[in-house]
Structure formats: C-alpha cells, structure tokens
Structure 1
Amino acid sequence: MAFFKPYTPREPEDYDAPIIDAIISIANTDYGADYVSAKAIKNSDIFAAVSIIAQDIASSEIELRENGIAKENDDLSYLLNVKPNELTDAWHFKFAMIANTLLNGNSYARIIRDKQRNPVRLDFIPVSEMTVSVENNSKVVYVHKLDSKEIKYKSEDILHLKIFSTDGISGVSPLLSLKPELQQQQAGKKLLTTFFKRGAFSSGILSVKQSNLDNEARGSIRKKFEAANTGSSNAMATIVMDETMEYTPIEINTEVLNLVNNSIYSTKQIAKVFQVPFDRMGIETVNTSMETANLNYLTNTLTHYFKAFSAEMNVKLLSYPQNISTRLVFNADRLKEVDPVKKIDITAKKQQNGIFTVNESRKEYGLPPIPGGDVTLVSLNYVPLDMLGQIQKDKQNNNQPTVEGGGQDEGQRNSVSTH
C-alpha cells in the first residue's frame, strides 16, 4: 500500500475543457488535478473583477487582536503588512495570493519558522508547482514540484487560501461556471471586431458577367476584391470595377450590432460569480450613495473573503492555545468612512462617550499625541440604574444630586475624566 494516496478533487464532467483561449489551463498529473496559473487575462470583465477584489483585500491591514484589542508593533503584523520575504512587499504578496485564489481556486505560500516555531517568512509558491495529497486518508500533505524534485510539506507549513470548496481540502475556480457566458461575450466581440476590421464594409454579392468561372477562379476574384476594398485603410474609399462586374451590398441589421455592443449580460454574470456589486463593474445603479454602496460591498462581498482567509491564517500562523484568544483580522475601516465630515462627527462622538481618548482621536488623523491626552472623558449625564431613584428623590427635595468624591464646579459637571 502506498503511503501517499493521490487526492483528486471532485470535478464537473467537462472540467478539462478549455475556457476561452486558455484563460486558465488545467493539466492532469499523478497527483490529480494541477491548476496552472493564468498566463493572460484576456477578458476585461474578469480582469476588472479580480483586480477590484484583490486590490481591496491587499489594501486592508491585517491586525493581530488579543481579546478583541489590536496589538501594535507585532512581528506577525510586520510579516503580513510590511515585508513577508526578501523578494516582495506585503501588498503585492497579498495581491498575488488573492488573484490566484480567484482565478484558480487556490493559492499557496510556504511558512518559514524560527526555532520557537514562530513564522518569520512567507514564500509564494505558484499554483502550477503545488498539488495536494492525503496521507492514509487522515493527513493533508502538500507536494511541491520544483524542477525535477518533489518536496513534501506538512499542512501546517503551507498557507493555503481557497474560497469555494466541496471538500474543504482543495478549492475550485469560479471561472468554470462562466464558460457559456464567456463564449457568448467572445462571440459578440468577434462580430464587432470583424465588422470594423472590414472598415464597416458589409457583405455583398459580386457578379461577373459573361463568364463561366470555376470555384478556384471565383475564390481568387473574391479574395482580390476584398483585399482591395475592405479593411480600415480602405474605409470610405472609392470602388473601381469594369463593365463586366456588378456589386450588390447585403444590408446589415444594425440593431444586432447595437445589441452586442450594449449587452451587459455577461458582465453581470461575471460580477455575480465573483460577488462584486454591479456599480463597481461600471454598471450604472440608481438611488445608491457611495456610503451605502461601500457598506453593501463590505457586507456581501469582502466579509466572506476576509473570514475565509482569516480562518486559514489563524490556524496556520497562530499556534494553540494562542489562537483561542488571539485572532488575525482584516481592518476594513477605510471602506466604512467615505465622508470626511461624517468621520469627524463619529470620532468626536467616540471621544465624548469615552470610547476614544483625545490622543486616540488625534491618531485617526495622523496627529502626534499631546500631554494629558490619554485621559478618558465621560459625561455626568449617565448614572447607574440603581441610583436613579435616589436622584429623583433629591430633585423632589430641591437638592442637587451628590457625586461621589466631593463637590464639583459648573464646568466639571459636564464631564469627568477617568484613568
């Protein structure tokens, strides 16, 4: 019995069919299906959808939070947000990981650890070089094919991002569901391209009078006539024929061209598969503010990606029992605060209600701390529920409610500070 049993992800029947000029290519190996990285993104809608999601996730800082509180100047945060390895910066590393996940269904990075098993480096591995195996149906093993060598890694040493998975082990590319839509879009673009390549010169019938031509002769005349009168360089040019030839154009229904040119069906299908709101794909929407659109995008799109990627990082980059109370979380505050005036109002309210100190409010705008700015301010208008009866009784006796710790002047009644 072999120690490593080949693992083959469940696939549709036409899984190995090419998808529009090999946007992605899939090869079968001894280890199962091997996803090969995209060589070119020829479809502009797919390029836009992948770029939008990958850019927004790569631009979101990853915070290490202990009991819900973000830790600063942490080595793991530096690894994920500044410099994951010697070859690239964190933004492009995260972009490459997300883009591969969206296009191929999977992305991989090797986790290099120090002697204390703490992550110190993340090395990106192309999808074409990695396959997944299951050892004795109990442990997941990653096989890295590098040149003629095969290197096996334990599951905890590979950061494996995936979104759609039917078994929790390997991801599936969302492009597989878009084959009909991509073919339809490609056919429409081909029709428009052919029309304009001919210089808007429509099809027609060329008659040669008083002749008995065979197929070869007719083909030769047609080619020479098209070469002389079609193409962008011959657009609006004069057609010259002798008396033995007669050309009758065939009218084209321009409504068909308008339908192809204005069709957004395929764009909507691509946006739906990647869960990208229509407005971000250039499709006009009505009665939607920027703030509402951002909140919808964050809630219905990015949150799912954040959760999936955080789940993998919390297991692979944090050890037990550290990951019981500590989490790696994406910070998406920049998408929530579009209006600068509203941000000022929210920051002020957080400070007034004791959520922010003065220095924390200043930090939101990149301002340096000030002396005494780490004091929390709270309003005296808020009292414990069990004191409400006593305060009401004091008011009836025309007495002012007392504040524990001595009397206070008029300015101090509005707010107090706590350390």
Structure 2
Amino acid sequence: MSFFQPLGSSKVSYDDYITSVIGGNYSPEYVGVSALKNSDILTAVSIIAGDVARFPLLKKDTTGNIEQDEEINYLLNVKSTGNTSARTWKFAMTVNAILTGNSFSRILRDPKTGKALQFQFYRPSETTVEETNDHRLIYTFTDRLTGATVKCEAPDVIHWKFFSHDTILGRSPLLSLGDEISLQDGGLNTLIKFFRDGFSSGIIKLKGAQLNGEARKKARMDFEKMREGSTGGSPLVFDDTQEYTPLEIDTNVLQLITSNNFSTAQIAKALRVPSYKLGVNSPNQSVAQLMEDYVTNDLPFYFDAITSELGLKVLDNDERRKYRIEFDTRSVTGRNVDEIVKLVNNQILTPNQALIELGKERSSDPNMDRYQSSLNYVFLDKKEEYQAMKGGETRNAETNQDEGTSDSE
C-alpha cells in the first residue's frame, strides 16, 4: 500500500515520503517509525507527545474567558475515541505527526446536530489523500483488519501537520536529520565493535620466513581462529618463530565518541526540545526557568497547529467566530497567588479574572466582576485634599468623644 497518492500534478510531498522508505523488503518500513530505535529521538518524541497529552484543552471566548463546555471537554480531555482515552489519542496523534509528518482521525458526528461525538484514529499507512480537480481533499481510510474503506472530505477529518510547504501534507523533521543520525550510529558501532572484539589490532612477525600473499593470509586466518572463543584474560600461545605486537589505540578517539553531543544537540534543535532534556549541558538557568521558556516559546509550534485544526473541525461556523481552542499551560506558566493578589489590589484584574488565572470556576456574584480598590491609596494630585479630609475626620471624632464624656458626667 502506498503511503500517499500524488496530489494533482505535484509529487513533491510524495517524493519526500518515498525517500523515507527503507528498501530491501516488500513490507516498507517508514524512517520515522524506525527512528524510534534511536534513544535521542525516542526521548524527544516522548517529551513532546507527553506534553501535548498532559495539558488540557480549553474553550475560550474572544476576550480570553474560559467557556464551560462539557461536550468539548469530554471529547478533548476525557475520551476521544471509542476505545481509548483522550490522553492516549493525543499522544498517538502527536507521535505520528512528528515521525511521518501527518496524523489522521475521522470525525464521527451526530447525524442531527452535526456535533463531533468522537474520533476514529487511523494510521498514516491506512490513509490516502487525493486532491480533486476543484481542489477539494478526499481522505480514503482503509481498515487494516477488514480491508473496508471509507471516504471523507476535509471537514470530517482531523489532520495534524506541524510543518507543511503545500498546506496539504506535512513533512517530518526526521528527513533533515539523516546525517546526524548516521554520525551518531557510526560512533556507537565503533564502540560496539571495540568492546565486542575485546582485542585491538596487532602485528604478527614470523621470524626467518619470507611470506608471499597466500602465506600471510593463512597466518592471519590461523591467528584469528586462535582468538575465536577466547574469553577475557585467556592466553594466546605462540612458538619461537612468532612474535605478536599489539597496536596501541588512542583512547582519545573513544573519549571523543562518547563525549560527542553534536548529534544529540541537532536532534533537540530540529524537534524544538531543550537540550538539557536529552542530557546535553544546559545554560546557567534553573530547571523552572528552562521549562517555562520551553512551554512559552517552543511548544506553541506544536500547540498552534493542533488548536487551529481542532477549532476548525470541532467548532461550527458560529462558534468559530466567538470561541477558540487553547491549551491550558497555567500549571507551568501561570502566576503564583501572591502575584495575582497584587494584580487584583492594583486594579489590573477583577476577582473573577483572578479565579480564572488560578484555574478556579468563576463566581456568580456580580461584585466579583468589579475592580476593587484600597482606601489606603489615592491619586497624587488629591493627596493633600484627602489628608485634610482625614484630619477633619480626626478632629470631629475627638470633639464627639469630648461631648460624650461631658454628657456622662
């Protein structure tokens, strides 16, 4: 089964995916999936997919207020498909979108209202995308177990793509990491060979003999046979006519291989993951600062692609004009309680807005939507007038107290 059919007369995206197929067998294996054998890519993909899955999705109005919608919350944060949780669905969708460039789910809607009820996940290898002459997109899903096919138009398909140059198909960042992965694999293979062989190369001298090519080849084979099956520390036996001199290995080469973080740093850069999460030394910042910077500046590359697609396909036309879908990252980027209290006291936020910042539900008390002010603060140009009023109040209070004392006597 082909991964994607060519769209119209253009084969750019299709050719990108052809280059991602590993040859040599009749069941193609995608470079994206096979790349999970690389521990750095596995770690980076797990971090991104885990963050997409753990942050809840919210429905907000155009002013930023959270709109309570039980159906949207259940679909996007509780149970997204018929047999998996929303967390699992978002994780799998993100993994496929990174590794292959695209991830797909069919939207199952209420036949009466047209509301999205749940999603049906399909692997990229089960999906074919075609562009019609009038530039409509037709998605054909093929069930891998039954072989049954179903065709859907774009409004009924959730299609995540984080990097796209034609607005139709996505491109995996792994296609740009071939050299880095090869460099890393080459270094690992060198280490594996060194520790597996257990011996370094050496020179065998056969005294008093003039050897032709065939004799040298036989001597080499005899020595290799003698080494076969020997374990660490077992002796090698030579006679007086043979002399073995091991070649010294520059340990700096091995140290260079083990300490080389270039490939890891390039993988982190391409996937927009902080290097410290992949074991590379980080700048002189706290983990909290690095995490907040990652959520604020790197994750939106993934978040915006996801929320824009969900808002376009899950919300109807009227809702899209009033609401949007956003990730709730306040657990990492949100203000602490002291900061919010200061904002309320300085008339920046209303008490209800403060509750929203804390992730709490709005109060129905209308006074909670009013800005609060402290009597301890006054405008600078009114300071003298206010002070005079305070002084008058003090004198009146003293007079009243004296009059009360006289009456009691």
* Bin for the TM-score computed over the shorter chain: 0.7 to 0.9
1:303 CA drift (Å): 1.3
Match of 1:394 among 382, 385, 396: 385
Could you say what secondary structure the match of 1:321 adopts?
A: helix
TM-score, length of structure 2 as denominator length: 0.80
Higher helix share: 2
234-243 vs 117-126, greater mean Cα deviation: 234-243
Shift of the alpha carbon at 1:151? 2.2
What per-residue deviation string (whole Å, max 9, x for no partner) do you get for residues 61-120 of structure 1?
Answer: 100112321123520111110111231111111111111111111001111010211011
* 1:393, distance to aligned residue in structure 2 (A): 7.4
Hey, what does 2:401 align to over in structure 1? none
Contact 1:5/1:135 (8 A) holds in 2? no
CA contact (8 A) 2:345 2:374 kept: no
With over 3 angstroms needed to count, the CA separation of the structure-2 counterparts of 1:174 and 1:26, relative to structure 1, is farther
**C-alpha distance in 1, partners of 2:237/2:262?**
43
Structure 2: distance between partners of 1:345 and 1:383: 19
Residues 1:164 and 2:155 are matched in the alignment: no
Distance 2:16 2:170 in 1: 17
| 1:28-54 per-position Cα deviation (integer Å, ceiling 9, x unaligned) | xxxxxx968715611111111111111
Structure 2: distance between partners of 1:312 and 1:359: 28
1:359–1:392 distance in 2 versus 1, CA, 3 Å = closer
Residues 383 and 395 of structure 1: is their aligned pair in 2 closer, same or farther, counting only changes over 3 Å? Answer: closer
Instruction: Supply the distance in 2 between the matched residues of 1:266 and 1:394 (Cα, whole angstroms).
Output: 69
Could you state the TM-score of these two structures normalised by the residue count of structure 1? 0.78
The total of aligned residue pairs comes to 376
- Tell me whether 1:331 sits opposite 2:328 in the alignment: yes
Task: Specify whether residues 127 and 195 from structure 1 end up closer, same or farther in structure 2 by C-alpha distance, changes over 3 A only.
Answer: same
Instruction: Please say if 1:206 is aligned against 2:204.
Output: yes
Q: 2:106 corresponds to which residue? A: 110
Q: Give the 3 Å change call, closer, same or farther, for CA 360–193 of structure 1 in structure 2.
A: same
When the two chains are superposed, the root-mean-square deviation of aligned CA atoms in Å is 3.7
Quote the offset at 1:298 in angstroms: 1.9
Residue 122 of structure 1 pairs with residue 119 of structure 2: yes
The amino acid that maps onto 1:172 is R
From 294, 297, 300, give the equivalent of 1:297: 294
Gaps of 5+ in 1: 28-33, 402-419
CA contact (8 A) 1:363 1:369 kept: no
Task: Indicate if the aligned counterparts of 2:350 and 2:372 stay in contact, CA closer than 8 A.
Answer: no
1:262 and 2:259 are equivalent in the alignment: yes
- Would the aligned equivalents of 1:207 and 1:247 in 2 still touch at CA under 8 Å? yes
Q: Using the TM superposition, give the Cα deviation of residue 186 of structure 1 relative to its aligned residue in structure 2, in angstroms.
A: 0.6
Change in 2 beyond 3 A, CA 1:108/1:359: closer
CA distance in 2: counterparts of 1:76 and 1:9, whole angstroms:
37
**1:194 match: secondary structure:** helix
Give yes or no for the alignment of 1:310 onto 2:307.
yes
C-alpha distance in 2, partners of 1:138/1:280?
42
CA distance in structure 1 between the aligned counterparts of 2:376 and 2:140, rounded to whole angstroms: 61
1:396-417 CA deviation, whole Å, 9 max, x = no partner?
8x2359xxxxxxxxxxxxxxxx
User: Could you give the per-residue CA deviations for residues 151-196 of structure 1, whole angstroms, max 9, x where no partner exists?
Assistant: 2111011100001111111001111101111111111110011111
Mapping 1:44-193, distance limit 5 Å: 44-67=39-62, 68-115=64-111, 116-147=113-144, 148-193=147-192
- Whether 2:372 is the aligned partner of 1:378: answer yes
CA separation in 2, counterparts of 1:284 and 1:156?
45
What secondary structure sits across from 2:317 in the alignment? coil
CA distance in 2, matches of 1:14, 1:71: 41
Runs of 5+ consecutive residues of structure 2 not aligned to the other structure: 392-409
Matched, 1:242 2:244: no
